[in-house]
């Protein structure tokens, strides 16, 4: 006859051993990996590849060769539960027709160029117009709308994808053949790292960034997520968001994020007709070496994001233009404030603003830039 006390003890011992095994297994780092699959095909039959990067802690970043776009980014919350924290689609068709630059690299020139014109060395260039009277994010067919060449690299810091693209002389009106190389790395320090390089055979403006829309909750909107931007000044603009050339103080106004506050606290006080934030901030101490530009914390999940960059500015955009008509992954209809963008870059219209840091790249020079998005939870 089985002794019930002994049987109960045995069950408890087995449960203890199972729990201890799970704890030990969770403490053992995973092997970082990278895989490649097909995401779809362009109308002309060109394949678009999907790379899935997994780091030693189990974070997952998925990127496609169309627009070098991040489609998914899975990071843990305070309980260890993984969640996708970027907006996007699960099919190529919507990226071709519906995407407002979800997760893409934008260029040659991120943000706006006034009236689609600039003058270099006495010659005036006319660009493609796609934002009222202005050029936005490189024009009608910017870097977010091309298929990049890509190569997987399994490096010591984590899995990477190296993207390359050659933009021909005259593309969208820009001078020079521009060769761009970008390395996306999902580090074992739970960072997404962007390393940009570019060379040209004619003097041309270059301003590159990634346009991911983040939502640290993975659902709802971002108005309760708490943001700090390390910037005491910004570049005020006209109705078309073209800077006036002034660097204005943010202190005490609705654009002031020098002290952390919920993104939505002052949304209704933001000046202009943007219906939210779409402003370039002048990073304190930015433009030379890597410095902290911004922090975001989500009280609901405990997830946090830190943004470091060597660029002089960061554009805060709160997805004001979304209205629920675009349906993304898992049937989520993206409305206003469904995500936030922190686009590290030079100031808008820098090529027409002599007082701003220069964006001109000349033959024989090499454009280099690094931005790091670091994730944690508490």
- Describe the strand order of the beta sheet including 226-229 as a list of residue ranges: 149-155, 158-167, 178-186, 191-200, 367-377, 303-309, 291-297, 226-229, 261-262
Question: Contact, 160 vs 140, CB < 8 A?
Answer: no
Tokens 């943004």, located at residue: 307
Burial 25-49 (b: 16+ CB within 10 A, else e): eeeeeeebebeeeebbeeeeeeebb
Q: Is 169 within a domain?
A: yes
- For residue 274, report the phi and psi dihedrals to the nearest 5 degrees: -85, -15
Q: What is the pLDDT of residue 20?
A: 39
pLDDT digits (tens), the chain, 378 positions: 445 444 444 444 444 444 333 333 344 557 899 999 999 999 999 999 999 999 999 999 999 999 999 999 999 999 999 999 999 999 999 999 999 999 999 999 999 999 999 999 999 999 999 999 999 999 999 999 999 999 999 988 999 999 999 999 999 999 999 999 999 999 999 999 999 999 999 999 999 999 999 999 999 999 999 999 999 999 999 999 999 999 999 999 999 999 999 999 999 999 888 999 999 999 999 999 999 999 999 999 999 999 999 999 999 999 999 999 999 999 999 999 999 999 999 999 999 999 999 999 999 999 999 999 999 999
Domain-located, residue 23? no
Residue range of the domain that includes 133: 33-377
Burial of 131 (0-12, 13-18, 19+ CB in 10 A): middle
Answer yes or no: is 103 within a domain.
Answer: yes
Per-residue buried b or exposed e for 135-161, using 16+ beta carbons within 10 Å of the residue's own CB: bbbbbeebbbbbbbebebeeeeebbbb
Return d(Cα 135, Cα 153) in angstroms, integer.
35
237-255 pLDDT per residue, tens: 999 999 999 999 999 999 9
Q: Which of 270, 218, 243 is nearest to 347 (CA)?
A: 243
Within-domain flag for 27: no
Q: Is residue 92 part of a domain?
A: yes
Q: Is 293 a member of any domain?
A: yes
Note whether residue 12 is domain-resident. no
Residue 98, domain CATH: 2.70.98.10
**Residue 192: beta bridge partners?**
186, 373
Which pLDDT value is given to residue 350?
A: 98
pTM listed for this prediction: 0.91
Number of domains observed in the structure of the chain:
1
Task: Evaluate whether residue 22 is within a structural domain.
Answer: no
The residues annotated as belonging to the active site are 211, 343
């Amino acid at each position: 006859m089985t002794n019930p006390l002994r049987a109960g003890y045995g069950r408890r011992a087995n449960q203890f051993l199972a729990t201890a095994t799970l704890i030990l297994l969770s403490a053992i780092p995973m092997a970082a990996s990278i895989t490649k699959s097909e995401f779809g095909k362009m109308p002309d039959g060109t394949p678009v590849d999907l790379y899935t990067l997994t780091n030693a802690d189990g974070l997952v970043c998925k990127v496609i060769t169309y627009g070098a776009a991040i489609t998914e980014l899975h990071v843990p919350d305070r309980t260890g539960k993984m969640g996708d924290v970027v907006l996007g689609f699960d099919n190529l068709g919507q990226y071709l027709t519906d995407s407002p630059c979800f997760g893409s690299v934008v260029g040659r020139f991120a943000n706006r160029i006034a009236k689609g014109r600039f003058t270099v060395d006495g010659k005036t260039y006319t660009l493609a117009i796609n934002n009222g009277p202005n050029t936005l994010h490189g024009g009608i067919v910017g870097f977010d709308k091309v298929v990049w060449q890509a190569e997987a690299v399994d490096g010591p810091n984590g899995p990477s994808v190296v993207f390359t693209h050659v933009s021909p002389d005259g593309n969208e009106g820009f001078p020079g053949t521009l060769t761009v190389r970008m390395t996306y790395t999902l580090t074992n320090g739970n960072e997404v790292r962007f390393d940009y390089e570019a060379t040209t055979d004619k003097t041309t403006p270059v301003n590159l960034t990634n346009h991911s829309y983040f939502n640290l909750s993975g659902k709802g909107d971002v108005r309760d997520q708490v943001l700090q931007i390390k910037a005491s000044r910004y570049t005020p603009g006209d109705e078309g968001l073209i800077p006036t050339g002034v660097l204005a103080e943010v202190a005490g106004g609705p654009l002031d994020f020098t002290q952390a506050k919920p993104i939505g606290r002052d949304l209704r006080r933001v000046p202009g007709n943007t219906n939210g934030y779409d402003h370039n901030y002048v990073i304190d101490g930015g433009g030379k070496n890597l410095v902290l530009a911004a922090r975001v914390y989500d009280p609901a999940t405990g997830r946090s994001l830190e943004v470091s960059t060597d660029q002089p500015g960061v554009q805060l955009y709160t997805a004001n233009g979304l209205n629920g008509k675009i349906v993304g992954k898992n049937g989520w209809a993206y409305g206003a404030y469904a995500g936030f963008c922190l686009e590290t870059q030079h100031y808008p219209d820098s090529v027409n603003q002599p007082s701003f840091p220069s964006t001109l790249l000349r033959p024989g020079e090499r454009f280099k830039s690094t931005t790091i998005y670091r994730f944690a939870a508490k």
